[in-house]
Structure 1
Amino acid sequence: MPADIDLFTLTLLCLAALAAGWIDAVVGGGGLLLLPALLVGLPHTPPAYVLGTNKSTAIVGTTAAAVTYVRKAPVDLRTALRIGLAALAGSLAGAFFAAGIDSEVLRPLIMAVLVAVLAFVLFRPAFGTAPAPSGPVTRRRVLAAILVAGLGIGFYDGLIGPGTGAFLIIALAAVLHMDLVTSSATAKIINVCTNVGALTMFAIQGTVLWQLGALLALFNLVGGTVGAKMALKRGVGFVRGVLVVVVVSLLCKLAYDQWLAV
């Protein structure tokens, strides 16, 4: 536990972990809240430790959400794990290249993609409302999901990260014709795979504040469980609404980082 952290800051970080777990369980993107909160709350902590601690927290909420979804949603575990392994490989490759990429070039590209995603969701009211497939999907679609949602978005997760959960949900709904609840459930399983790989690397490097991470993980666990249950109970319309809010928030954050941050 950092010696210079006070009770007020610790309380705010716990609340941020709680909210991040809820957001991540519903549509992904909880890191948009928790990571900046850690950076602000631990200004004297090296960034590598902040990233490692964030992963040690997020993996607990994501795992809890995944378990909750698997118990109640029609998730194809075999397909989810195949995509998850590809995402793990993709995230490792993305992390390898991250040091040599100029974020000033990538941010406008990501914003353009997000604008397209937002327009797609808003102008396609039927998107993600189809019933989940009752039988096995074709090999061609599974392969496309492995390439796009696994290797592609996994690479993005290792390279940059924010919005990975939302991208996964949209990709799975589009490629595998899942409804938004089922795609959200499947995305959680894939996120667990990528988080395991990232946390393992941070642990090997010794850049995890385990005591702080364990405390925040408890709140993240509660948020993740509640978020998954709400998504299952309220259905596609609720997930769709939160998805739009998260994509808009991500756009605003990236625009701020690009043009307003000093």
Structure 2
Amino acid sequence: MSLYALFWLWLAGLLAGFVDSIAGGGGIISLPALLAAGMPPHLALGTNKLQGTFGSMTAAFTYSRKGLVSLPEIPAGVIFTALGALAGTVTVQVLSPDSLRHIILILLAGVFLYTLFSPDLGRLDRRPSMAAPVFFGCAGLVLGFYDGFFGPGTGAFWTIALVAVLGLNLKKATAHTKIFNFTSNIVALGAFFAGHQVVISAGLLMGAGQMLGAFAGSRLVIHKGTGFVRVFFLVVVAATIIKMAHATYAAQ
């Protein structure tokens, strides 16, 4: 690749890390950048997991240091997310994820509308509507599988689930989401490495940008209220819907 192309990959990683650390959805920036660089889809998916791991790790570490991650049930969520991600990554290497696009668009639209018309959602902590171990068992397997298999919108699904079911405010939910994003990223990355589906040089370059962007984004969330996170979340989910809808229906 030319220096020009490498610079744009680094910049894409920077922007993706910033966006992803606040509201998820960084894949709508990083994955198209890798595809635009000429990578085949499976290589792009594997390389995207490598660079995304750096961003989710940085954001998770930053949030944890500031005391925003404290649930004792976190280990259960990590274990079930890892199992789901492993199953999803193995599956995607033998099947096409295209069949999921229409379903995911509908689900993302539901998340967007639910958040938009619930102005107090995530403003304050609420009483959970489900026992945490049950929630993490179900959500970890389902969302871990989805992130390993396809990916776009995973952060949004985790955030809204943590807010709606466990009653976390948006700032805490965003922080916990990064823990589970990192888990599914690292597990999926291992499976992609085993399948020789990772371009290490491009992944590391974008990963450097991811770390810088994730640090800046997570610090911004820590110093801003839940209102800022809500607006950013809605913008990112809307952009993800538009991007996925264009990719889905333009190909038909």
Specify the TM-score bucket, using the shorter chain as the normaliser: over 0.9
Equivalent AA in structure 2 for residue 47 of structure 1: P
Any residues of structure 2 matched to 1:250-261 within 5 Å, and which?
Answer: 250-261=240-251
- Indicate yes or no: 2:93 matched with 1:103: no
> How many percent of aligned residue pairs carry the same amino acid?
37
Q: Is the 8 A contact 2:17 2:52 kept in 1?
A: yes
Give the match for residue 65 of structure 2: 71
Aligned 8 A contact 2:46 2:189 in 1:
yes
Q: How far is the alpha carbon of 1:160 from its aligned partner?
A: 1.6
Equivalent runs, 1:134-145 vs 2, <5 Å:
140-145=130-135
From the superposition, tell whether residues 148 and 238 of structure 1 become closer, same or farther in structure 2 (CA, over 3 Å).
farther
* Alignment partners' CA distance in 2, 1:62 and 1:198: 13
RMSD of aligned C-alpha atoms?
1.9
Quick check: 2:85–2:146 contact (8 Å CA) kept in 1? Answer: yes
Superposed counterparts of 1:192-207, under 5 Å: 192-207=182-197
Q: Residue in 1 aligned with 2:5? A: 9
In structure 2, what is the equivalent of residue 59 of structure 1?
53
The TM-score with structure 2 as length reference comes to 0.92
What displacement does 1:16 show? 0.6
Residue 36 of structure 1 aligns with which residue? Answer: 32
CA contact (8 A) 2:9 2:202 kept: no
Letter in 2 for 1:16: A
What are the ranges of 5 or more consecutive residues in structure 1 without an aligned counterpart?
none
In structure 1, C-alpha distance between the alignment counterparts of 2:102 and 2:198, rounded to whole Å: 31
Partner of 2:20: 24
Which moved further from structure 2: 55-64 or 142-151?
142-151
What is the correspondence of 1:179-258 to structure 2 with a 5 Å cutoff?
Answer: 179-258=169-248
**What is the CA-CA distance between 1:261 and the residue it aligns to?**
3.1
Question: How many aligned residue pairs are there?
Answer: 251
Q: 2:104 and 2:149 mapped to 1: Cα distance? A: 12
Q: Secondary structure at the match of 1:187?
A: helix
- The corresponding residue for 1:90 is 84
Q: Is the 8 A contact 1:149 1:172 kept in 2?
A: no
If the length of structure 1 is used for normalisation, what is the TM-score?
Answer: 0.89
Mapping of 1:157-172 within 5 angstroms?
A: 157-172=147-162
Aligned-residue offset at 1:196: 1.3
Cα distance in 2 for partners of 1:107, 1:53 equals: 21
For 1:74, the aligned partner's letter is L
Determine whether 1:178 maps to 2:168: yes
Query: C-alpha distance in 2, partners of 1:155/1:176?
Result: 20
Distance 1:107 1:212, change over 3 A: closer
**Counterpart Cα distance in 1 of 2:250 and 2:44:** 23
What secondary structure sits across from 2:171 in the alignment?
Answer: helix
Cα distance in 1 for partners of 2:60, 2:211 equals 11
